[in-house]
Amino acid sequence: MFGKIPSFETILRLGGLRIRLKRSGMYQIIPFRLTYEKLQIGDVPYLLTDKIIDMPELTRVCNEYNFPIIAKNGKAFPTGKTAIDFVIKKPQQAGASGQIVAPAQAGAIQAQDTVAHGQATAKKPDAQPAASA
């Protein structure tokens, strides 16, 4: 891609890019492939290369493509952004009965599941302590 700069979604769909950048004083076309870093809230996509690229040039390419990059000598993000800004969120986890559960409803659904499976037990009320005279 040497003319128009692709969008974030296009880079994800392509799975990588070939970017022209300055390396050791001369311009080179470096292939970058798409990779993901797993976080608790989702996956962060990065363009990855095994080449050493000067950090000012790496930062320039990050800002130009608005995409995080990992090179052999470090990670770079566009100015003013962090990994959280690029997270692709995981789908929400399904509850025991296959539905998406809000935290306030979790206890009620669990109680319905145990009753439906015959595991419900009646709790006896706690005995009142005897009054001492």
Q: How far apart are the first and last CA of the chain?
A: 91
Query: What's residue 117's pLDDT?
Result: 52
The tens digit of pLDDT for each residue in 94-126 reads: 444 444 434 444 444 444 444 445 555 555 555
What is the rounded distance in angstroms from the CA atom of residue 33 to the CA atom of residue 58? 15
- Residue 33 scores a pLDDT above 60: yes
What is the rounded distance in angstroms from the CA atom of residue 9 to the CA atom of residue 5? 12
The tens digit of pLDDT for each residue in 42-77 reads: 999 999 999 999 999 999 999 999 999 999 999 999
Domain ranges for the chain: 8-89
